[in-house]
Structure formats: structure tokens, C-alpha cells
Amino acid sequence: MRCTSGNVALDSTFFERKEASQYYLQRSGRSVKTIKVTTLTDTGSLAVLDLHCYIESEHDTKAGPRVVRVPADDLQTVVADNGFQDWYSEQEMGAHGLEYRAHHRGSKPMAVAHNVLNRLNGYTQRWMAETSYSTMKRTQASALRSQFWYRQFREIVLMFALQNIKKAVEKL
């Protein structure tokens, strides 16, 4: 899908695995209960434009720029929570010509000033990504049914694609 508004929200959520494959458990040496998904959601249509699934504990600051790179030509503004805020993410978003609004950590005067400016300039649109997750998890199950991790990744992609199709059909 294409971004219709130019404004997107970057956020992460978790999906529960019913059971992990024995092959994966033996190979990794541990059991994995959840899969983390980072999505790029259009704030105008609540459509999920891109997503990144991973089992390993990857920090949001690493996953955020990776999700934004592909559709960067259609975007103007990216809003994200403080998990995505670091200098590397800000530099990479700026290199793509994007206005990056991330909530800053801390209570220093500079951080407080950045957060006030972000709220005035549309940071509050970030809740739309949470709405997209909530709608999808209520209308479809939040637990994954597939046994193997690569099928679970496909299942997540199909759930978000189905949600996008439902939203497109509702508008007709």
C-alpha cells in the first residue's frame, strides 16, 4: 500500500506463540514465547505500510530505521515513542528527508522542550498505531497458530494484509 497522508507512526507490539518448533528450541537453546513486530502505520488510513518481525531481542532503535527505509519516498513525517529515540535514528530519518518526531527521555530542559514541540506539531497521532494493533488483535487472534517461526512470520504479514483489505473495502 501507499501512504496517503504522508504521516506515519512507528511502533512495536508482541504476538504470543502457542508453541515453538522443537528444531528452533534446540538450535537456539531457549524457548521463545513471543514474536516482536515493528510496524509503520499510515495515520490517515490506519493502514500498515511495512512491518518487521523478529524473535531475537532487537532494540527499537535498530528496527525503526530499517522499517522506514523502504517507503521513505512517500513519507513526510514519522512519529515514534521514546523507544525509537537515539541519535542514529534521527540522523538516518533526516538523511531520507523525513521530519522525525520521537518522544525524548528524561526531564532535562532540552528534552522537555523537544517533547512540548513534538506535541504541538502532531506527535499525538502516534496513538493511531496502537489503535491499529488493538483492532487487529480483537478481530483476529493475538496468538499465532503456526508451528514454525517462518510460518508465524507469514501469518503475521497475512493478518496485517487482511486488516488493510478490510479497511479499503469499508471505504467503498
pLDDT band at 110 (very low <50, low <70, confident <90, very high): confident
pLDDT score of 105 more than 80: no
pLDDT band at 148 (very low <50, low <70, confident <90, very high): confident
pLDDT score of 149 more than 80: no
Contacts of 18 (CB under 8 A, 6+ apart): 143, 144, 145
pLDDT computed for residue 19 by the predictor: 59
Q: What is 7-166's CATH topology?
A: Nucleotidyltransferase; domain 5 (3.30.420)
Half-sphere exposure of 130 (CA within 13 A, CB side): 7
pLDDT computed for residue 48 by the predictor: 87
Centroid of chain to Cα 61: 12
pLDDT band at 145 (very low <50, low <70, confident <90, very high): confident
- CA distance linking residue 118 with residue 68, whole number of Å: 19
| Per-residue pLDDT reduced to its tens digit, 60-87 | 777 877 788 777 677 888 888 877 877 7
pLDDT score of 154 more than 60: yes
- CA distance linking residue 35 with residue 56, whole number of Å: 8
| Cβ-count burial 4-37 (b if 16+ within 10 Å, e if not) | eeebbbbbbbebebeebbeebeeeeeeeeeebbb
Residue showing cell 540522523: 91
